[in-house]
Amino acid sequence: MNETLSNEDRDFVSKTGDRMQRLRDQLGRRIVGLDGPIEELLTAVLAQGHSLLVGVPGLAKTLLIQSVAECLSLDFRRIQFTPDLMPSDITGTIVISKDEDGGRAFNFRKGPIFANIILADEINRTPPKTQAALMEALEERQVTAAGERHDLPRPFFVLATQNPIEQEGTYPLPVAQLDRFMFMIRVDYPSFDDEYQIMRLTTSSYKSELEQVFDREDVVRLHEIARKIPIGERLMRYAMELTRRTRAESGVAPPFVREWLTWGGGPRATQYLILGAKARALLFGQTQVRAEDLRAVAPPVLRHRIMLSYHAEAEDLVPDEVIEELLAQTPA
């Protein structure tokens, strides 16, 4: 059901576009050459979605996430995932302590996941048992200990990083767990000019002090407004068409999809296409979703939800090439 924006909401959206530009400018003082990942990350934050950042070490993924938390005035915790990390190291544990009467009582000691923004660094380096401990937090925004539910603070995001090069000693995330992440954001090498700027800034005494652009209450309000951004019936059907055409057995998949893909996106992919498009509209101060918003969020939404066939892998294709062809053959 499409909601309508009140005049107050429209005024808030208009001002949000200017404030978001200030936020991007602030991040640009510390982060060089990552305009695309910054836009996608902020879109996911506005949509209250979790993201997986994939890139080789040393591309400022951690610094980017920490800088976003600083500009949004949100609590930030970093969890370094290692092979010996236990689920209780993330969610918390039950401890015995003395109460006021001198007796003993069981109390829950919160783990580092009780923060607004969680950096799950190198999430594929920890065993599946520990990875699974994140799933309840990702989906329900709560953790359960000793049968008791503990709500996580609002807002709550998990921003995970993954190294695509080293596979030895890693535990690839199952498809079901990958599907919990709204976006997979690719972080690539900088251009020559950007890398020169990085060297100039990081090897000098320059220190970037970032200003707070939003506070916690602003972020919660942004989440509420993002879902109210209207999307037309035609664009909602277009989002469904994009997802359905990734399914080789759907009957509407083009020939190249039937050749290159063995698995396509499910209904959650369409949900995230629509929510991502609404959030991107808000990011740029728009009061309605445009076709270009849907097309812009299609790569980060779909790239980890489609599975290449053996034939596609033999031709050294990557998911982004399939998505690019899908967008070219599916006009809005």
pLDDT tens string 147-206: 788 899 999 999 999 877 766 667 888 888 889 999 999 999 999 999 999 999 889 888
Per-residue confidence (pLDDT) for residue 57, from 0 to 100: 87
pLDDT higher than threshold 70 for residue 30 = yes
Radius of gyration of the chain from Cα atoms? 21
Per-residue confidence (pLDDT) for residue 72, from 0 to 100: 94
Domains of the chain as residue ranges with CATH: 1-83+113-205+213-228 (3.40.50.300), 230-332 (1.10.8.80)
> Mind listing the pLDDT tens digit for each residue in 55-112?
888 899 999 999 999 999 999 999 999 889 898 889 888 887 777 777 777 788 888 9
Q: How many CB atoms lie within 10 A of CB 270?
A: 18
Per-residue confidence (pLDDT) for residue 146, from 0 to 100: 75
Q: Report residue 228's pLDDT band, with 50, 70 and 90 as the boundaries.
A: very high
State the average pLDDT over residues 9-22. 90
pLDDT higher than threshold 60 for residue 215 = yes
> Closest Cα to residue 121, out of 159, 70, 83?
159
State the average pLDDT over residues 236-240. 96
- 172 close to 124: Cβ distance less than 8 angstroms: yes
Per-residue confidence (pLDDT) for residue 19, from 0 to 100: 93
Per-residue confidence (pLDDT) for residue 227, from 0 to 100: 93
Per-residue confidence (pLDDT) for residue 6, from 0 to 100: 84
Q: In this structure, which amino acid lies at residue 30?
A: R
Average confidence score pLDDT of the chain: 90
- 85 close to 45: Cβ distance less than 8 angstroms: no
Q: In this structure, which amino acid lies at residue 29?
A: R
Please give the Cα distance from 198 to 30 (Å, whole number): 9
Helices H, strands E: what count in the chain? 14, 11
β pairing state of 51-54 and 157-162: parallel
Q: Which DSSP helix (H) or strand (E) runs through 29?
A: none
> Mind listing the pLDDT tens digit for each residue in 109-143?
888 999 999 999 998 888 888 888 888 888 889 88
Q: Report residue 2's pLDDT band, with 50, 70 and 90 as the boundaries.
A: low
